[in-house]
Structures are given as C-alpha cells and as structure tokens.
Amino acid sequence: MANSLVRGLEILRAFDHKHQDMTLSDIAEVLGVSTSAAYRIVYTLEQEGYICRPTEKKQYRLTSRVMELGYSYIKSLDINEIALPHVTDLRNRTNFTVHVAVLDRTDIVYIHRALSDRSMVSNIPVGSRLPAYATSMGRLLLSDLAKEHLEKLFDGFDFKPLTPLTPTSFAMLKKLLKEDRARGYVAQNSHIASGTFAIAAPLTAEGGRYIGAINLSGHEQDLQGDPALIEDVVATAAEISRFL
C-alpha cells in the first residue's frame, strides 16, 4: 500500500457538505498524523489542483477538478451511451423521470438521468450514491450476486430504517432479493424517502449478468405499479441489454 496515496484519498473524502472548508490542523486530525506530515500531502493535492486556499484564507477546499475523476468514470461506461436514447424515449412516452445506475459495493451510483417536466418529480443528480438495500435498482443488482458475496458485503452492515418499508436486517434483505430475482423487476413505494414510487428493471450483459439497472420514478400520487408501465420499463431494459 502507498500510504501517501491512501492519505491523499482520505483527505479528498473528508470534504463534504458539513466540512466544505478545513484548516491544515483539521486535515491532520482527520488523518491522525502531525501537521507536518499532513502538509506534504496537502501541498501535493494543492499543486495538482484538487484543493485550493481562497485568497488570504488558511482553510482549504475542494476544486472543481475533483469532478473530473467522477466524470471520467461515467464517460468510461459504454452502458451510459448505449442507454441514453432508450431512456430518453421511455421518459418521453411516460412523462416520468428515468434513472440509470450501477452497483458499487453496497451503494448504487447514478450515471444518467432523463428528467421529467412534471411539477412533482423524482430528481436524483448524476453521480449521487444511495444505499443499494433501500432502492429499487440497488435491490435488483444485489439480487444477482452470489450468496457468499452478499454475506461478505453486508457483514456488520448498519441497516438504517429510512422508511417504514426499509429492510432492517440482512435476513429481511435476503428474502426481498429472492423475490426480486424471481420476479425480474421491482415496483414499489420508495424505501428511502416517502412519497415516491419506482419501477426498476435490470440491464444485463452477455450471459445474463446484471451490470446496471434503469428505473421509472415519480410521485406516488401519479405513479403506481401499472402493468403496462412495468412492461414498458422491462422491455426498455431488455432493448438496452441487446447492445451491452
């Protein structure tokens, strides 16, 4: 392990909506090292353009260059380019927002969004990460994993009851995943934020492996598990999968 690289990544991850600005002492405390040890890494990140100090301030903050790392990942996914026209058509046919996501350990990462023009919409920005166990797309992608892989991923995991519907244990999640896999899609009220409904279907690669998912989402007053909508989402996912 390259400890300086690990510490550099820890610094970048330490900045969030609650810690938008940090002094060198703050950063050293996050790393658990002296300020002199932290300074070498901070100086490197600053010279490379990933963090900066606004004029006459002692606090550091992230720069927009950090976004390049995420967008490079998104651009590298053929799935995004292939799915774009199909999810746009699905949005236009239904007038509901359509998202595309991939699995990253116990989270899903949103890589595309076709936003509806309804007054009440499900609006999750590209690049967002949400817990897979509490989302329609995440559940589908988890349902494709081997039992041993699932057990390793969720060993010691904190299942937070985000809504009354959210699974609160690995046993509850496994039961849902078994049903999701057999059904081949998920249509449900949100398990992460009350008030929305989603219909999700998997994107499959050659051999049937799930490599992503799409969902149709909107306010629960407008969207429910209509069989025609479910069929449309599943058919769109299958059409995208033909080219993956």
CATH number of the domain enclosing 196: 3.30.450.40
| 205 vs 12: CA distance, rounded Å | 33
Is 134 found in the same domain as 44? no
What is the reported pLDDT for 63?
A: 86
Each of the 244 residues of the chain gets a pLDDT tens digit; together they read 788 889 899 999 888 878 888 999 999 998 899 999 899 999 999 998 889 887 667 899 988 788 777 666 665 567 888 899 999 999 999 999 999 999 988 999 999 999 988 766 667 888 889 999 999 999 999 999 988 889 988 999 999 999 889 999 999 999 999 999 999 999 999 888 888 899 999 999 877 889 999 999 988 888 988 999 999 999 999 999 998 7
CB burial of residue 228 (10 Å; 0-12, 13-18, 19+): exposed
Integer angstrom CA distances of residue 22 from 29, 41, 48, 56, 142: 10, 14, 18, 14, 36
Domain end among 48, 63, 78: 63
Domain end among 39, 63, 87: 63
Q: pTM score, two decimals?
A: 0.71
Query: What are 199's two structure tokens?
Result: 């219909």
Is 77 found in the same domain as 186? yes
102 CA to centre of own chain: 7
Task: Determine the structural domain holding residue 193 and report its residue range.
Answer: 70-241
For residues 138 and 103, the answer to whether their CB atoms sit within 8 Å is: yes
CATH number of the domain enclosing 33: 1.10.10.10
Helices in 32-169 by DSSP H: which ranges? Answer: 35-47, 66-75, 78-94, 136-142, 147-153
Is 87 found in the same domain as 21? no
What is the number of alpha carbons within 13 Å of residue 38 lying toward its C-beta? 18
